[in-house]
Amino acid sequence: MRTALLFLAACALVVAAVAGCGGEERPTVAELEAELTCPTCNGPLALSNAPAADRIRAFVRERIAAGDTESEIKEKLVDSFGQRVLAAPPREGFNWLAWVLPLAGGVIAVVGLGIAVRRWARNRAEEPPAPTDPSANGRAVDPDLERRLDEELARFDA
């Protein structure tokens, strides 16, 4: 059963990788709109109605018709507008921090939470149970109070 699940997971990864590679050579306007931002409003290009966004869409259509790849189109747009036109920073140089820090923070948070839960569970298990008197219906009895009660009862018996 376990090997079957691993095989299915590997197949899903291969299919996802193959599906993701097709967009580089023949990108669509919709794919590029999702990966670009409007330089005027700094929002997603797909949602922008600014004149600059319309010009970028027209440029993208022209470049797709000319046969440019996704990376070539993005490169030309970055040359014109700067890196702010990209929705996600490129995975190179100092920009790797934008990709790595959130993942590292998530891992650190999960590890820290796991350690805290383990300590809380261990501390809870180490607490000694309070002494109980069978006649007190499971309630804890204070040893000093029990001693005083025994002394008082001994005085009445005498």
Per-residue pLDDT tens digits for 96-149: 787 888 999 999 999 999 999 998 888 776 666 555 555 555 566 788 888 988
Token digits of residue 4: 């079957």
Distance CA 47, CA 53 (A): 9
Is residue 78 within 8 Å of residue 87, measured between CB atoms?
no
Residue ranges of the domains in the chain?
2-88, 97-157
Residues near 88 by Cβ (< 8 Å), separated by ≥ 6? 35, 98
Task: Please state the separation of Cα 71 from the chain's center in Å.
Answer: 27
pLDDT classification of 1: cutoffs 50, 70, 90: low
Higher pLDDT, 51 or 92: 51
Give, for 104, the enclosing helix (H) or strand (E). Answer: helix 96-126
Half-sphere exposure of 62 (CA within 13 A, CB side): 8
Report the distance separating Cα 111 and Cα 118, nearest Å.
11
Could you tell me the fold of the domain covering 2-88? Helicase, Ruva Protein; domain 3 (1.10.8)
Q: What is the pLDDT of residue 26?
A: 81
pTM here is 0.48
Q: Is the pLDDT of residue 81 over 60?
A: yes
